[in-house]
A and B are shown apart, each in its own frame.
Chain A
Amino acid sequence: MKARFAIGLVLAALTALSMSAPLTRATETVDPVADAKAFRDYFVKKFPKVKLEDFVNGPYSMNEDMRKQWEEKEEFPPYEFALDAGKEMFAKPFKNGKTYADCFPNGGIGIRQNYPYFDEKEGKVVTLELALNRCREANGEAPVSYVKDDMASLTAYMAFTSRGKPMDIKIPNDRRALEAYENGKRYFYTRRGQLNFACANCHVQSPGERLRAEILAPALGILNAMPIYRSEWAGMGTISRRFVTCNSQTRAVPLEPQSDEYRDLEYYLSYVSNGLPISGPGARP
């Protein structure tokens, strides 16, 4: 079964990759297909012993002692309560009788791997968290905080329904989509904060290394396990919460959750992880 699973992954990835055509800009080409291939090859070459789909397990794909502690947690994971709460919330109708299922394709089940997507009408990246709050507002409900439990529970349930499905992010042949992708890439490699670190310094140059108690996760598949229950937070965290805390770790002032930079960053990071399985919700240190 494992071999077939891996081959399935590769095929799914190749089809997804070949979809988006490169855009030639005045100065240099923005070529997501080539980027994604180079991105994956870098990690596969740097960690030959790590199976492709195992990268989504972040620090646990990098360190045996940590992995053992993770496997123990996964026997009865701490995100169990968020998952149940998310399932309940997902089915509870809004005041107008509708539910989240009415806002999403396939009733919101098994679709997490297609988020974020580029909305060509709006010309912007739409993430799962943004779509959930938009669904609430469209049905007369107040939006929930992007960094708190309700959003984490909802995304935990939606991720759970997609477990195992390969990440499948599309970049339509639209200059604005390629620009959003490029913004995300630039953000990822730009040094920020007084400590002068870019995301890439930790997650590309030194995954597997220790940052005091923590082992740095590889960037490949880094969002596949989201949302995560972190022992550090003694609670759930969405992608928004993770980006905000990463910024403050380098002593940079975080941006508003779901601001353009963060949504483009999520677009880039998800795209270059196409083909790797969704494993959310996850448990992390």
Chain B
Amino acid sequence: MRVFLAITLLILGASSALAASEADFKAAYASAEAAEKEAGTLRNQWLPTETALAAAKKAAASGDFDAATAQAKEAEALAKASIFQATSEKERWKDMEIH
């Protein structure tokens, strides 16, 4: 899991060097939205994900696709984290249960 994260950070770092275009933003926003939708089916969305999605949309509307893409990527990371939380808690909750 940690290796996977390291690789994504690398890719993220490399691509953000170039100015993000509207197409980059649209792709990033779409995958963020998909991840958030999945978190929704798991009934485990986070508020910061929604704020990041809204910020991405706002930045895109004002034409600042760099910021918009960064926010969309942030939203996707948050949505993925909330999905990870839901799946990992599926059994782990029992550890805390009073016996």
A and B touch in their complex, CB below 8 angstroms: yes
Of A60-68, A141-149, A192-200, A207-215, which stretch is located at the interface?
A: A192-200
Q: How far is the CA of A246 from the CA of B52 in the complex (A)?
A: 21
B interface residues, Cβ below 8 angstroms from A: 43-50, 78, 81-82, 85, 89, 92-94, 96-99
Residue of B nearest to A40 (CB): B98
Which residues does chain B contribute within 8 Å of A261, judged by CB atoms?
43
Q: Are B96 and A252 in contact (CB under 8 A)?
A: no
Which residues does chain B contribute within 8 Å of A39, judged by CB atoms?
98
Which residues does chain A contribute within 8 Å of B97, judged by CB atoms?
185, 189, 200
Q: Are B47 and A204 in contact (CB under 8 A)?
A: no
Q: Are A189 and B48 in contact (CB under 8 A)?
A: no
Which residues does chain A contribute within 8 Å of B85, judged by CB atoms?
191-192, 196
Q: Are A190 and B45 in contact (CB under 8 A)?
A: no
Q: How many A-B residue pairs have CB under 8 A?
A: 52
Q: Which 4 A-B pairs have the closest CB atoms?
A: A253-B45, A189-B93, A190-B93, A251-B47
The bracket for how many chain A residues form the interface is 20 to 34
A264 CB to closest chain B CB (Å) equals: 12
Question: Known contacts being A198-B93, A204-B96, is A193 close to B46, with CB within 8 Å?
Answer: yes
Which residues does chain A contribute within 8 Å of B49, judged by CB atoms?
253
Is A38 part of the binding interface, using a Cβ–Cβ cutoff of 8 Å? Answer: yes
Selected from A35, A189, A193, the residue in CB contact (under 8 A) with B96 is A189
Q: How far is the CA of A222 from the CA of B43 in the complex (A)?
A: 24
A24 CB to closest chain B CB (Å) equals: 17
Which residues does chain A contribute within 8 Å of B45, judged by CB atoms?
252-253
